[in-house]
Amino acid sequence: MSDSTAISRVWPAPAAGPLTDPELAALYGRAGRPHLRVNFVTSADGAVTLDGYSEGLSGEPDKRVFGLLRMLCDGLVVAAGTLRHEGYRAVRLSEPRRAWRREHGLVEYPTLVVVSGSLDLDPAQAAFADAPVRPLVLTRDAAEPPPGLTEVADLVRCGPDRVDLGAGLAELRRRGLDQLLCEGGPHLFGALTAADLVDELCLTVAPLLAGAGPGRITAGDAGAPRRLPLRHVLAAADGTLMLRYARGPQEKPPAGAAPAA
């Protein structure tokens, strides 16, 4: 990683020198229990997009951590809105990252999990058509798949009228997908927060002002505020900040518990 922008830890204990990929992977890690990590990038003034996409906010340090977080997960959860809008391609990992997964007893690639109530999905989209592992789609009981979708993905029906995210995540865990990484988008993040399913937020803050217009990283119906302790602050040499917030095991409600008021 010698030609990459240096990333250093500034909190809680400042670390001397730039972090290597193995050190970064260890700082984020895999939880020793079922865990949902959410990853977003925002501008310094809180925008979720620049010119309609996340790409303009994401510099090289963010892309590096984004890839490492993919390496660490079992299931990569994304809302249909983001999948469609950002034109998601098949989940690919570099050979060193696949080797890291093999060494840690994991399959070479995480499973893509798409959340869609409508099933307005294109089976020809590369995220499905070129997927190295057959994707899963969390959907409603009565949703009708478009022609060809069930040839490239398995449907997981969880909820009569809308996708029951708690039931959906429980089913993913039943299938061995314990470490989940959600890459958004804002409506899915809002719904996961409302259901108290978020264990961790990894937030990259890009050093720029996007100005008025774009939304926030969360959207949907208002809900109760939830405390999420800060775990680390990393800073890249280009001014990008990478914040990791996570609750501890003792703060996690037991499976099936009603969301906190």
Ligand X SMILES: NC(=O)c1ccc[n+]([C@@H]2O[C@H](COP(=O)([O-])OP(=O)(O)OC[C@H]3O[C@@H](n4cnc5c(N)ncnc54)[C@H](OP(=O)(O)O)[C@@H]3O)[C@@H](O)[C@H]2O)c1
Contact positions vs ligand X (CB under 6 A): 40-41, 48-49, 52-54, 57, 79-82, 85-86, 115-118, 120, 162-163, 165, 183-188, 191, 219
What is the residue whose two structure tokens read 């996007």? Answer: 210
- CA 79 – CA 90 distance, rounded (Å): 15
- Characterize the bridge pairing of strands 35-43 and 179-182: parallel
- The strand order across the sheet containing 154-157 reads 7-11, 230-236, 241-246, 200-206, 35-43, 179-182, 75-79, 111-115, 136-139, 154-157
In the complex, what is the shortest distance from the CB of residue 218 to ligand X, in angstroms, rounded to a whole number?
9
Task: Give the nearer residue to ligand X in terms of CB position, either 101 or 115.
Answer: 115
Task: Give the nearer residue to ligand X in terms of CB position, either 63 or 252.
Answer: 63
In the complex, what is the shortest distance from the CB of residue 241 to ligand X, in angstroms, rounded to a whole number?
14
- CA 44 – CA 31 distance, rounded (Å): 29
Structure tokens at 61: 């340090």
Task: Give the nearer residue to ligand X in terms of CB position, either 77 or 100.
Answer: 77
Q: Is residue 240 within 8 Å of residue 6, measured between CB atoms?
A: no
Region at 147 (left for phi over 0; alpha for psi -120 to 50; beta for the rest): beta
In the complex, what is the shortest distance from the CB of residue 140 to ligand X, in angstroms, rounded to a whole number?
7
Task: Give the nearer residue to ligand X in terms of CB position, either 100 or 116.
Answer: 116
Angle CA 72–204–30, to nearest 5: 20
In the complex, what is the shortest distance from the CB of residue 228 to ligand X, in angstroms, rounded to a whole number?
17
In the complex, what is the shortest distance from the CB of residue 31 to ligand X, in angstroms, rounded to a whole number?
21
In the complex, what is the shortest distance from the CB of residue 53 to ligand X, in angstroms, rounded to a whole number?
5
Task: Give the nearer residue to ligand X in terms of CB position, either 45 or 120.
Answer: 120
Task: Give the nearer residue to ligand X in terms of CB position, either 24 or 192.
Answer: 192
Q: Where are the alpha helices (DSSP H) in the chain?
A: 21-28, 60-72, 80-85, 95-103, 126-129, 149-152, 165-174, 186-194
In the complex, what is the shortest distance from the CB of residue 18 to ligand X, in angstroms, rounded to a whole number?
24
Task: Give the nearer residue to ligand X in terms of CB position, either 134 or 162.
Answer: 162
Q: For residue 35, give the nearest of 257, 243, 221, 251 by alpha carbon.
A: 251
- CA 215 – CA 47 distance, rounded (Å): 6
